[in-house]
Structure 1
Amino acid sequence: MSEPQSKKALTRRRLIQASAGAAAALGAAGLPVLQTSAPALGDKKITVEPLIPSQNRGIILYSVRDRISAAPDDSGVPYGFERVLARLAEIGYKEIEFAGYNQHTSILGRQITPEEIRKILDDNGLVANGTHTQIRADTFQQQLDIAETLGMKNIGTGSDPTNSAYQSDWDAAADLWNELGRQAKERGLRLYTHNHDVAYSFLLDSGPLDANGRPTASSGVRRLEYFFAKTDPKYVFFEFDIYWGYVARFKHKTYTNSRGQVRTDLFDPILNVANRTKRFPLFHAKDGDRAPEQANGHVMTPLGEGDINFQQFFEVIGEPEFHHANWEQDTAPGARPTPVSPSRSLSSATRTCPT
């Protein structure tokens, strides 16, 4: 199903025009990451509006997975759902995105239940805004049951709908996701998928064919952009990982067309969202420094310590009340490098909480 074209579709030129003034004002005012948009002068005082409202700012528990899964210890650092979620609420997070529902069985002498996790959320004034789980037809209704118990409005995965580069496999994935998305909507949830950089690599959809009859060339369409068009906007949604979007811009610049010609096409993370912004209820606010000598072109950093322009990103895509931003830092847990630092992930969560 094709997406309707917005009458106000952004171009790179319009993006620069729209964001230049806002970016200058943000820099001049010294305003914090994710906190504010362009200041407006009223009654001779500068007032600001949030880029992401405070109640829509959260954390994915993958960032503190070492402490969620930790056995009781004498480090003084919170462990397990009850203690870690209480600490995250104290820090200032309002929403939680799950990355599994298990903790160390020694805490309760058994595994915790979704009902018990829901009580911990409620007791701490936290809201579950999503999850990374397996999206499969044979277990989807059970996953919807858990999502409903936890009070989620979104259910998703940290994996692509298919790992294939071939159009036919993305067609099959779109058919499945349209159906599962319909089932989710019937129960009041949105189904979403989360990107890494490879989701924005180029689809193999053109000849010549290889020995197995598979395409070897590309028309220049990116995998997830094809999926946008093949899935129903009423049923299938997305969580944009901003860091991996910028890695995609660095890594996936060229494709070979059916004539054997190498073509260049730069991926634009902001325009990727801005022209279909209501299909992205969730984001991973993950930061990084440019490092062109590295394979990914970037190195992950704590939020606000890298050079990704989150102010520009959220200013341009608009719809702040609709969007939810979850802090993620894959490298925050302290198990590596040695020495082990049990407090590192929660210390990072404290330092980068966008409040």
Structure 2
Amino acid sequence: MPEPQLSHDPLTQTPDGRLSRRKLLAASAGAAAAIGAVGLPVLGTAAPALGAAKAGSDPDAGSSNLRVAPLIPEQNRGIILYSVRDRISAAPDDSGVPYGFERVLARLAEIGYKEIEFAGFTQSTEILGRQITPAEIRKILDDNGLVANGCHVTINPSTFQQQLDIAETLGMKNLGTGSAPTNSAYKSDWDAAADIWNELGRQARSRGMRLYTHNHDAEYNFLIDSGPRNAAGQQTRSSGIRRLEYFFGQTDPRYVFFEMDIYWAYVARFRHQKFINPNGVEKTSLFDPILTVADRSRRFPLFHAKDGARRPDLTNGHEMTPFGEGDINFQQFFQTIGERHFRSANWEMDTAPGGNENRGQSLAIAAQSYQNLSDLTIYLPK
């Protein structure tokens, strides 16, 4: 993957690489028509020109006061273990491919990953003759210089303190779930979920952690919150607000946080474009992943850096790929949202495991994706 470079504009880019609101709007998908009219790249499209200087120009001209830095700082490059779940859960075998927490985490550290997001805390009992404990996992992390930055567990008030105990043992700053706060389209259900999450988020904060939820595409579909009611008494139309964005406003920013899965956010942009407004008129609204983050920046400490190739023939409009092999413009995404030292980018690819026919596939793709993630760069003042 060629090293991408961006020109530095001191009028629109702040010292930490965050783009100003003026530049942000120019880059946003919501401004697609306007920026397309003046020939600028539209959000969500591949941008091969990002690394290219203008024809005939000196690529080093005016850059004496700049330095090249990683767009994703080394200490913030992570992986969710769901991507290599086949090897975490594997029983001992003679394939030579690492299995279980001790061997797989050692390999991920060798690749270069610094942060781990968990997708469960169990492995094959054939490895130790029993189940591994959170304390034993913590030792493996420490031995390999790894940090647990989050997890995907079931968020349930009755077991929440137990999950906090595990997270505390593992040294996590964030405790989360891969499920939506509610699968409902209705406002009342999101209100009820917000009440629960505000309380659980308060409990997490009291123990030094942030509670977060991870999105798929449905959470960015439109809320059903207006219009005539059906026979069950439910409203049937939408004001145009999206479900998770409504949840942003109903939850306390001190207690409830979010992990954007960037792939699923672009799937949402493809799939959820139209709604019926309170007057019964079909309206079009394009979802903008970049502005969704930028408008509430500190509520997104975690991301899933999951790539995808555009496939309009598929239901989701995209097909998952190793990081750097798809069409999502991560250079634009991460540079525009800024605050690069605040955010953790966890690589994920749901389809990485290769099964018994290719047991090493998921770890091989993890290595390829790490390299491409680390190749993203930014110009900063010296």
Give the TM-score taking structure 2 as reference length: 0.84
- Return the letter of the residue paired with 2:296: R
Distance 1:11 1:56, change over 3 A: closer
Q: Cα deviations across residues 1-21 of structure 1 (Å, max 9, x unaligned)?
A: xxxxxx95986336478x97x
* Residue aligning to 2:133: 113
- Return the letter of the residue paired with 2:368: R
* Residue aligning to 2:124: 104
CA distance in 1, matches of 2:215, 2:21: 25
* Residue aligning to 1:13: 26
Task: Verify: 1:351 aligned to 2:368, yes or no.
Answer: yes
SS at match of 1:48: strand
Query: Following TM superposition, by how much is the alpha carbon of 1:277 offset from its aligned partner in structure 2, in angstroms?
Result: 1.1
Q: Is the 8 A contact 1:56 1:323 kept in 2?
A: yes
SS at match of 2:110: helix
2:114 aligns with one of 71, 79, 94: 94
Name structure 1 gaps, 5 residues minimum: 1-6, 30-37
CA distance in 1, matches of 2:23, 2:64: 33
Distance 1:168 1:79, change over 3 A: same
Higher relative CO (Cα under 8 Å, sequence separation at least 6) belongs to: 2
Query: Following TM superposition, by how much is the alpha carbon of 1:257 offset from its aligned partner in structure 2, in angstroms?
Result: 1.5
Name structure 2 gaps, 5 residues minimum: 1-19, 42-46, 54-58, 375-382
Identity %: 69
CA distance in 1, matches of 2:365, 2:106: 16
1:341 aligns with one of 358, 363, 369: 358
Query: Following TM superposition, by how much is the alpha carbon of 1:24 offset from its aligned partner in structure 2, in angstroms?
Result: 8.0
**Higher mean C-alpha deviation, range 46-55 or range 148-157:** 46-55
Query: Following TM superposition, by how much is the alpha carbon of 1:43 offset from its aligned partner in structure 2, in angstroms?
Result: 3.6
CA distance in 1, matches of 2:166, 2:303: 22
Q: Is the 8 A contact 1:165 1:202 kept in 2?
A: yes
* Residue aligning to 1:66: 86
Distance 1:132 1:312, change over 3 A: same
Q: Cα deviations across residues 304-336 of structure 1 (Å, max 9, x unaligned)?
A: 00010000000100111110000000000012x
Q: Is the 8 A contact 1:285 1:303 kept in 2?
A: yes
Distance 1:122 1:41, change over 3 A: farther
Distance 1:165 1:40, change over 3 A: farther
* Residue aligning to 2:13: none
Task: Verify: 1:124 aligned to 2:144, yes or no.
Answer: yes
Task: Verify: 1:286 aligned to 2:306, yes or no.
Answer: yes
Q: Cα deviations across residues 139-183 of structure 1 (Å, max 9, x unaligned)?
A: 000000000000000000000000000000000000000000000
Q: Cα deviations across residues 241-276 of structure 1 (Å, max 9, x unaligned)?
A: 000000000000000122221110000111111111
**Higher mean C-alpha deviation, range 67-76 or range 339-348:** 339-348
Give the TM-score taking structure 1 as reference length: 0.90
Q: Is the 8 A contact 1:39 1:48 kept in 2?
A: no
Query: Following TM superposition, by how much is the alpha carbon of 1:52 offset from its aligned partner in structure 2, in angstroms?
Result: 1.6
Aligned residues: 334
- Return the letter of the residue paired with 1:56: N
Distance 1:71 1:41, change over 3 A: farther
CA distance in 1, matches of 2:334, 2:253: 21
Equivalent residue runs for 1:1-355 within 5 Å? 8=21, 12-13=25-26, 15=28, 26-28=50-52, 41-43=62-64, 47-335=67-355, 340-353=357-370, 354-355=373-374
Show structure 1 runs of 4+ deviating over 2 A.
7-17, 23-26, 38-44
Q: Is the 8 A contact 1:10 1:275 kept in 2?
A: no
Q: Is the 8 A contact 1:39 1:49 kept in 2?
A: no
CA distance in 2, matches of 1:82, 1:248: 37
